[in-house]
Amino acid sequence: MSMRSRFYALAAEALAGDERVAVVSAEIGVGELPAHPRHFNVGIREQLMIGVAAGLALEGLRPVAHSYTPFLVERPYEMVKLDLGHQDLGAVLVSTGASYDASTAGRTHQAPEDVAIMAALPGWTIHVPGHPEELERVFRRSLRGDDRVYIRMSEEENAARVDGEGVVVLRRGGAGVPLVLAVGPTLSETLAATADLDVTVVYTGTPRPLDAAGLRAACAQARDVVIVEPYLAGTSTAEVAAALIDRPMRILSLGVPLGEFRHYGTRAEHRAAHGLDATGIRASVDAFLLSG
């Protein structure tokens, strides 16, 4: 079951079993969700979707708003900032489409900059799960709170879930070797790219707030850090640099480049074009390490 299918099943379960949960849609996914008194479809009015979610939060409900990434984050960004953030209201925003899942739909359905602009707003926790079971874990936990949470789903996923919170060490290299931080669904390609390298590989599905203590503990004596993230390259660079501010460090940030790829293709082709497949990641890591 994909993350998106798992989310619809979980949202339906929450509507049936938790009187506090309400879901706000803007046409996307409506056919996958049940008709329910607390499921509000506002039509193609994404700004209204966020406003309704804020109103529901004012009434003591736990609103869940869902749409494609650009329609959930970019189009109603002012409402996310003011209706939720400025009024200090909680909600769970769950996007689908990630950076380039809608690879044949064109630029209108792609938003690799979403995490960067959500991270520019205070008070948001941002989850980027790499597996449907990780999605379920963070979504269930998010429903229990009153804070502001953004969950970024993707059609890409890792071969297996990662258990644990924060920064999780998956493979530890020798003393002082480079550290590679994989975020969300980049993990499988990162592991393949570095399989024969003496590096420490760590993972997080929660880039905001970044587990600075976990990163520092994993980093040990490393002087080179590589970040592999499935959205705009450089999004997490400042967070990593701040966590390691007292250490002399080189950082390589790999992600979706700043620019527009004006070609249609499969997700795999987009991933390769952005250098985020195993071959591209390895080439970038090799060049970075040789340059040092």
pLDDT one-digit tens code per residue, 59-102: 999 999 999 999 999 999 999 999 999 999 999 999 999 999 98
Please, which residues bridge with residue 152 across strands? 95
- Report residue 38 as tokens: 């607390």
The fraction of the chain above a pLDDT of 90, given in percent, is: 90
Q: What is the pLDDT of residue 15?
A: 98
Q: What is the pLDDT of residue 105?
A: 84
Among 28-32, 157-161, 223-227, 264-268, the range scoring the smallest mean pLDDT is 264-268
Q: What is the pLDDT of residue 161?
A: 97
Residue ranges of domains in the chain, CATH in brackets: 3-152 (3.40.50.970), 168-291 (3.40.50.920)
Residue with tokens 């799960």: 129
pLDDT digits (tens, 9 = 90+) for 143-187: 999 999 999 999 999 999 999 999 999 999 998 899 999 999 999
Q: What is the pLDDT of residue 292?
A: 76
Is pTM beyond 0.85? Reply is: yes
Angle at which helices 132-143 and 3-17 cross, to 10°:
30
